[in-house]
Structure 1
Amino acid sequence: MKPVEPVSIAAAALWLPKGRAKLTEAVADGRLRARQAKELGHPEVPSAEVEPAPGMAVSAARETLRKAGIEAKALDLCVHAWMYYQGHDLWSPAHYVAQELGAHHAMPVGIQQVCNGGAAGVELTVARMTANAAHSTDGYRWGMVTTGDRFTNPGFDRWTSDYGVVYGDAGTAVLLRAPAAPEDALRLRSIVTMAASELESMHRGADPFAAAARTHRPRVDMRATKRAYLHEHGHDQFIRANENAIRTIVDEALRDAGMGPRDPRLRYAVLPRFGLKTLQEFWLPILADTVDAEPLDYGRSTGHLGAGDAAAGLAELIHSRALRPGEAALVFSAGAGFTWSCLVVQAPD
């Protein structure tokens, strides 16, 4: 999708709790073998001791507003995405985020597209913002996209609930402006998403539908559902779908951005925050064959942030000033379903 008018990322933030869950402790406890620990490649990940998941999203959003010099009352849309439990059984965390920010004029919307939720939130926010030609009092339309996830016991083991991924706790926020302004941090040139719904059973497995959460097992166990899927379908279907999706979203996102795979402006490819072996087997070879862009792996010290990988990547691109004027980057996100997204962002000239 190419925005029908210039859209910018005015600011973005990654908020991490102070606690840390250490890989050595998981190995010492017998939850991981040494070989598995090496394949993951995360020495430690952020661990929220008391911070609720949507509370971390609020902290990230407040920081984002402060960086942009914008008051929450200017927001037209407040989108919140998440992967795991938000702290209450039947409740809208999106409305909580808007209330805590003081975004009383914004429409709160919740998105649960699992790990790709943050990228989906950006895409849907841009679509709504650019479809509405009316401007707010300051001449712009503003959209806030937040994510917040906390992966904790008793229902989730961040080290062993999945294959090839360690889950870290964090809040993220991205502030979008339409039309774009020259002082904004990044210009959003395009965003493309692709789905392969034939893979949905990788997270359903052979389990019957249940009447309540964690009926089948005391903890979330994506390993069990993936084993069931692989027993029935094997590995090839996922491998083909993953490669096709990555190539497709890169090609379409660059085309919509008016760039090619060897464009000299294209400097970085910001990877999803998966384990080292997963990136080396399923992402890096495909990207090396597809684009001339240096891979950026910001996830070694954070792990996978649930719905927040893409937003966190944007925040770290901005914070590190990684892009020189005119340079561009691909920012990736992927998650269960399966769904893949690629954003093309460019630093202002």
Structure 2
Amino acid sequence: MRTDNLFIAGAAVRVPELFPVAEAVRRGWYDAGRAEAEGWTSVAVAGDLSAPELAAEAGVEALRRSGLGSDRILLVLHSGVWHQGPEGWYAANYVQDRVVGGSAPVIGMHQGCTAVLDGIRLAHGFLNGGPSGTAALVTASDNFGTPLVDRWNYADGWGSGRGSVLGDAGGAVVVSTEGGPLRIRSLALSSLSGWEHLYRGDEAMHPPPVTLGVQATLGRRMASYVERRDPEGGLLLSVTRDLVTARTALARQVMDEAEVGPGDITRVTHVFTGHPRYLANLLRPLGIAPERGLLDLGRAHGHLTSTDQVLGLTHLVESGAVSPGDHILMMANGGSISLACAVVEVVEQPRW
């Protein structure tokens, strides 16, 4: 979808202290062989700072950077992958109260690693569907420092080729229909829900395993599911083929809609990885050099789920890696399987 009047007016992240991978290996939390093979160097760890607090701190800064008053925010969207706080309580309302207050509608999402781009798409429809669209706040955050998920080993056993360790962070963007330094030229979402069973595996849907104190072991769950159904590996190849095909097609779609080609893409934001092989598989089918990705940035923070995209974008702008006239391709894919891509043009160097 081409988006002629959608801008990022402000963006910010709240990233906690980085914990060295070498120390995790020394303490026996992370296998030394896996650490060497997967390439991560450190992981953001928030300690006792909750996920909604991370999102709210990022939201306050993103709003300040946008130069907009809180009364201009007509919608708040918040997402997290992992548990955000007490059951029966909604983190999205906390974020709204801490950042903008007021009585604008607020919606919580649970859409994994594509959530920020999903939220921007929903905000675009909301702001353009009413008589006075102005701006929306989209936030995401997670803190994986809880007993029922092991940030170092949650994906162990799944041969995706990327390897993954989980980092904590909060991110926020303020999107506006009235201008901003970053213009979203095009945005598209898609899914491969026929593969949701791969992520669900053979675990019971009710009662949810986590309510019974069962640790989330996504990698082993997926691997055992594949091994039982297809020990020769054809299923894994099919998943990989379908994902690469759909992801590449979606990226080409947004580039076509933005009227840019691979040579016009200055940099790419993506799901963080510690291994260059993932970036090669992601970008070479598009004719984009893997070096345009963010390998070193990702290696230093861990996989921040939904916040990968916000940290990638803010890093490119704040480090001077992109300048006015440059284009950023944002590529996200998440569990079960959701897909999202966008092309963002740097209109002017943000004052922040």
TM-score, normalised to structure 1, is: 0.90
SS in 2 for 1:153: coil
Distance 2:250 2:45 in 1: 32
Would you say the 8 A contact 2:59–2:139 is kept in 1?
yes
What residue number does 1:147 align with? 140
What residue number does 1:200 align with? 196
Distance 1:147 1:108 in 2: 13
SS in 1 for 2:115: helix
Q: CA deviation at 1:302?
A: 0.9
What residue number does 1:138 align with? none
Would you say the 8 A contact 2:113–2:271 is kept in 1?
no
Q: CA deviation at 1:83?
A: 0.3
Alignment of 1:1-349 (within 5 A): 1-3=1-3, 5-18=4-17, 20-135=18-133, 141-163=134-156, 164-180=163-179, 184-215=180-211, 218-231=214-227, 232-233=229-230, 234-262=235-263, 265-276=264-275, 280=277, 282-292=278-288, 294-297=292-295, 298-348=297-347
Deviations 1:205-250 (A, max 9, x none): 1112232442566321102211123212431121111211221111
CA RMSD of aligned residues (A): 1.9
Q: CA deviation at 1:148?
A: 1.0
Aligned length in residues: 334
Which runs of 5 or more residues in structure 2 are unaligned?
Answer: 157-162
Would you say the 8 A contact 2:185–2:345 is kept in 1?
yes
Deviates more, 1:217-226 or 1:249-258: 217-226
Q: CA deviation at 1:287?
A: 1.3
Would you say the 8 A contact 2:63–2:70 is kept in 1?
yes
Q: Residue 90 of structure 1 aligns to which amino acid in structure 2?
A: G
SS in 1 for 2:96: helix
Mark the CA change 1:165 to 1:37 in structure 2 (over 3 Å): closer, same or farther: same
Deviations 1:322-342 (A, max 9, x none): 222211010121110111211
Deviates more, 1:41-50 or 1:292-301: 292-301
Distance 1:213 1:206 in 2: 11
Deviations 1:154-196 (A, max 9, x none): 111110011411111000000101032xxx2211011122211
Distance 2:15 2:279 in 1: 26
Would you say the 8 A contact 1:11–1:315 is kept in 2?
no
Which runs of 5 or more residues in structure 1 are unaligned?
Answer: 136-140
Deviations 1:49-83 (A, max 9, x none): 12110110000000111112222222101100110
Mark the CA change 1:213 to 1:93 in structure 2 (over 3 Å): closer, same or farther: farther
